[in-house]
């Protein structure tokens, strides 16, 4: 527990601005993957699952990319809402986000895919994400085949690889305080703006 955690920015005009302030501090302070966030989804029957992904853009929402044949993408197709959690241990902070999702545009997906490391691009072609894998050797052979196929060529984005944007309806900023007297600021979507309140810790 930190003895003197940094105070939240009480002058932020909206939760997106406050998130950007906290995110900038996390980028400077968090030693490993400050962009990491847990994404929780549910299938059509309401059964939940959660996994870690990386935030790739923050604008009107929070963007991540994946194989569209993966379990998470299938669950989002069946139940198009998600919850996110950032945990920045070095700052004793969490941010929780909930809302519906929308697909990113093809232009956004193409631009991000083009920015990835080449081996990551090839891995997207080699992987049937979330599907059973007979052995690691099979995956390595598929990766080698993708590398040979695109030798000397730009690697195109697979048609089944794209991204999602979570459009927040609820954003909670959690700040650790001594003796578990934590501070919880909740922003909820209210028409075209936001309503702010506090929650008991």
Helix axes 118-126, 136-149, angle to 10 degrees: 120
The pLDDT value given to residue 13: 65
- What string of pLDDT tens digits covers the 201 residues of the chain? 444 544 444 444 699 999 999 999 999 999 999 999 999 999 888 899 999 999 999 999 999 999 999 999 999 999 999 999 999 999 999 999 999 999 999 999 999 999 999 999 999 999 998 889 999 999 999 999 999 999 999 999 999 999 999 999 999 999 999 999 999 999 999 988 999 999 999
Q: How far apart are CA 130 and CA 113, in angstroms?
A: 20
pLDDT for 177 equals 96
* CATH code assigned to 15-199: 2.30.110.10
Which class for 82: exposed (0-12), middle (13-18), buried (19 or more C-beta within 10 A)? buried
Residues involved in catalysis: 180
Using alpha carbons only, how large is the chain's radius of gyration in Å? 19
Say if residues 88 and 30 touch (Cβ distance below 8 Å).
Answer: yes
Q: How far is CA 74 from CA 44, 47, 109, 113, in A?
A: 10, 13, 18, 21
């Amino acid at each position: 527990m930190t003895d003197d955690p940094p105070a939240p920015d009480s002058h932020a005009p909206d939760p997106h601005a406050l998130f950007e302030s906290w995110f900038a501090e996390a980028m400077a302070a968090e030693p490993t993957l400050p962009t990491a966030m847990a994404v929780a989804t549910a299938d059509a029957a309401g059964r939940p699952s959660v996994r870690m992904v990386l935030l790739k853009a923050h604008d009107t929402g929070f963007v991540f990319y994946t194989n569209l044949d993966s379990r998470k993408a299938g669950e989002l197709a069946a139940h198009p809402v998600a919850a996110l959690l950032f945990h920045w241990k070095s700052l004793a902070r969490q941010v929780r986000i909930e809302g519906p999702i929308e697909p990113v545009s093809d232009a956004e997906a193409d631009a991000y895919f083009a920015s990835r490391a080449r081996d990551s691009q090839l891995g997207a072609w080699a992987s049937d994400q979330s599907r059973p894998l007979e052995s690691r050797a099979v995956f390595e052979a598929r990766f080698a085949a993708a590398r040979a196929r695109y030798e000397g060529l730009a690697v195109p984005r697979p048609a089944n690889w794209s991204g999602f944007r979570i459009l927040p309806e609820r954003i909670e900023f959690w700040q650790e305080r001594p003796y578990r007297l934590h501070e919880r600021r909740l922003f909820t979507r209210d028409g075209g703006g936001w309503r702010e309140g506090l929650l008991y810790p």
